[in-house]
Structure 1
Amino acid sequence: MRACIKCKYLTNEKECPICKSPTSEKWTGLLVVLNPEKSEIAKKLNIKIKGKYAISVKE
């Protein structure tokens, strides 16, 4: 699993399908967003698409 270095979205691709930024294998923590419209954490982190996100990503 890889994490986008910009938006932290978790994917298996080398390029993020959401923002087209590169991804990294160096990430920690896991945040699952099921309903970004109602999630206070998603609003604070500016997450608008449901999915799995890393808490921290290093290049």
Structure 2
Amino acid sequence: MASIAHMEADMLDIEPNKLPDPPAARLLRLKEVQHRVGLGRSTIYRWMDDGKFPRPHS
């Protein structure tokens, strides 16, 4: 069975050991999180308190 890297390489038509680097991780501001998940600020904070939503990083 082919590895994931080989399958991705086939789809991208590149060599398996030369896959592009993933995009750099970045922190999102609350407004962008709200837009992406479709929730209001108070719901996000309530879910964080309930352990249903990830806590912010600093």
* TM-score computed with the length of structure 2 as normaliser: 0.22
Higher RCO, 1 vs 2 (CA within 8 Å, ≥6 residues apart): 1
Looking at secondary structure, tell me which structure has more helix per residue: 2
